[in-house]
Amino acid sequence: MISNYRTDYAQPSISWVAMALAEAKTLEGYRYKQPGMFNDFESWAFDQYKKKHGQVSRQDFLRDRSAREKIYREFISKRLSQMVQNPRQALEFFGKKAIVSWGDPSLSGNYLMRQSYEHQQEMYEKLPVESLALIQGIPSGALTDFEKNRGLFRSPVAAFLVKTKSLTNFIERPFLILIVLGTGFFLLRKRFRPNLEVCLLLLIFFGGTVFHQFLWETQPRYFLPYLAFLLPIVSFEFSDRISNKRK
C-alpha cells in the first residue's frame, strides 16, 4: 500500500503495451502463460529498475513514473526491432496470440464458471456455517434451517455444466462459426458495400480485435462485447433469407 497515493503514481498505459509484447524467453522465471496474456512483466520491470538504482522498495519503483516509462519504452523499442529483424518470430508470436484469443469457443466462460464453482466448493467446505449464512444473507434466526439445507444454495445448474461439460462444449463453437459465417454471407450479398449502420458495427468489431491482437494484452473474454456487435448483422442476414424464401 502506498501512502499519499496520487494519479502521478498511476500505472502508465504504455506498460500494458510492453506487457503484451513480452515473450517467454524474456520473462523466464516469472509468471507467464501464453503470448499476449496477462503476465508478470511488472515484476521484471521492477527487477530492471533495481539493477540501476540498487536496493529500492516497490513503492520507490511505483513513485518513479518517469523511470518506469523509460523501461517500458526501451523494452517496446527492443521488441519491435527484434520483430522487424525476424518476421517469422513476429508471425509466430502474433499467431499464438490469435489462438489464445479465439481458441476458446466459450470465451473464458467455461474456465471462469469452473473456477467460480471450485472456489464456492472450497468455501462451503472450509468456512463455518455462520460465515456462509452471512455471505448468503441468511438471518441469524434461520441458521439451523440453513445448516440442514445449505447444499441447496449451491447452483445445481453450475454443478451439472462443470462436471459434464456437454452442453457448453456443444453449443459454443457452432454458435461462433454461425456468427462469423453469417456476417461473411451478409457482406458478400451486399458486395462489401453495407450501409453506414453496419459499417459502424464492423468498425467497432475489427477495431477492438486489432487493438487486443496487436497493441494490448488479450483474453478470450475480451472479445465477447465485440462479437455482440456482429449479432445485428447476422440477424439481418437470416431475416432476409427467411423473407426471400417466403416470397
What is the structure's pLDDT at 31? Answer: 92
pLDDT tens figures, 28-83 = 999 998 999 999 999 999 999 999 888 888 888 988 889 999 999 999 999 999 99
Rounded to the nearest 10°, the torsion over CA 119, 24, 49, 10 is: -50
Confidence of residue 130 (pLDDT cuts 50, 70, 90): confident
Confidence of residue 125 (pLDDT cuts 50, 70, 90): confident
What is the structure's pLDDT at 241? Answer: 77
| DSSP H helices in 36-165 | 41-53, 58-63, 65-85, 87-102, 109-126, 129-136, 143-149, 156-164
| Spatial separation of the C-alpha atoms in residues 16 and 231, rounded to whole Å | 30
What is the structure's pLDDT at 4? Answer: 58
Stretch 128-152: mean pLDDT? 70
**Where exactly are the structural domains of the chain?**
11-101, 109-164, 166-240
Q: What is the percentage of the chain residues whose pLDDT exceeds 70? A: 85
pLDDT tens figures, 207-230 = 999 999 999 999 988 988 898 999
Question: Of 83, 69, 73, which Cα lies nearest the Cα of 35?
Answer: 83
Which is more confidently placed, 247 or 116? 116
232 in Cβ contact with 177 (< 8 Å): no
pLDDT tens figures, 149-206 = 666 656 677 777 777 765 666 677 788 888 989 999 888 888 888 888 899 999 999 9
The dihedral sign for the CA sequence 155, 158, 160, 162: negative
What is the structure's pLDDT at 154? Answer: 65
21 in Cβ contact with 14 (< 8 Å): no
